[in-house]
Copies of this chain bind each other. A is one copy, B any other.
């Protein structure tokens, strides 16, 4: 991709960040690009939506998936005005986005930053663990069977 295109896509992400600023939201913007064309634009809306899931990247990935009518954003890239947080990086990875480009790093809140609370995560081996396992096994068995037919 030419440096002119890079500049163009970051410019578009900055326009989104500007929209967030005007709405009194932390000014972060993102665009998703496929075949050198912008297919989705979004900006941070965490205050308006009232939760941390409304990061610019998450909203942008959601829009791109809707636009392409697929869960898999193959051959797509995302341009962000700030380094993504851990949630957004993982969301991009799950969505099969090829690469993430950002304008400025975020040592604390970036994907490998130290801002993340060490959340208590515990496996509870109960009788219902077996029930959960069986439900998943049955589901994938059914899927495989359907594929074979």
A contact set with B: CB distance below 8 Å: 6-7, 10-11, 14, 17-18, 21, 26-28, 46, 50-53, 58, 61-62, 65-66, 69-71, 81-87, 89-105, 111, 116-117, 119-129, 131-133, 135-136, 138-139
B83 touches A86 (CB 8 A): no
Tell me whether A65 and B50 are in contact in the complex, defined as CB-CB below 8 angstroms, given that A100-B120, A101-B122 are known contacts. yes
A27 touches B101 (CB 8 A): no
A125 to chain B, nearest CB (A): 8
- Cα distance A96–B51 in the bound complex, in angstroms: 11
List residues of chain B with CB within 8 A of the CB of A103.
Answer: 123-126, 128-129, 132
Q: How many copies does the complex hold?
A: 2
- Cα distance A73–B75 in the bound complex, in angstroms: 36
List residues of chain B with CB within 8 A of the CB of A117.
Answer: 93, 96
A94 to chain B, nearest CB (A): 4
B116 touches A99 (CB 8 A): no
The 8 sampled A-B contact pairs (Cβ below 8 Å) are A11-B128, A14-B135, A27-B136, A51-B62, A83-B121, A90-B90, A93-B119, A99-B122
**Complex: chain B residue closest to A102, CB-CB:** B123
